[in-house]
Every structure is written in C-alpha cells, then in structure tokens.
Amino acid sequence: MKLKQARETETFINEPGYYAIKQDAYCERCNEDHSAVIQLTPSQMRLIISDMKEALKIQGEWFSERDMGV
C-alpha cells in the first residue's frame, strides 16, 4: 500500500518478515534524497495501532483542517 499525503509512504512486509514503513525525504542539509525504513514486529504493530487509534480521537487538537484536506 502507498499513501500519498504530505509525504509518500510505502508499507510492505519485507524479506525478514517485518512490517516495514518507508518514507523518502529530502535533506536540506546535504541536498540529497534519503529513505527511512522502520521495521516493526507484530507486537510493536499492536502497540502502534492502539496508540494511533487514541491519537485519532484527539486529532483536532494537533492536526489542522487545512492539513486534513477539508
């Protein structure tokens, strides 16, 4: 799955079996593009999913309507 919003995000199960989240970002310091890949175990995924659900309940407090595309 790829999400397009502020930054393109790719998610996939990598070869070692981790759920991976990849984002490309431009580094102004070195003027180059870099990729960041986060690898999660199933237990880490459960914790993050729980945390994200809680954050969505209060999204109006930290994310403006303009940023949400409303």
Residue pLDDT, tens place only, 8-33: 889 999 999 999 999 988 888 898 88
Rounded-to-integer distance, Cα 14 and Cα 1, Å: 13
Q: Taking 70 as the threshold, does the pLDDT of residue 1 lie above it?
A: no
Q: 27: domain CATH number?
A: 3.10.450
Average pLDDT of the residues in 24-46: 91
Distances (CA, A) of 60 to 1, 51, 52, 56, 65: 26, 16, 14, 8, 8
Q: Which two tokens stand for residue 43?
A: 């237990």
User: Across all residues in the chain, what is the average pLDDT?
Assistant: 85
- pTM above threshold 0.85: no
**Domain extent at residue 52:** 2-68
User: Domain total for the chain?
Assistant: 1
**Structural contact between residues 51 and 57, judged by C-beta atoms closer than 8 angstroms:** no
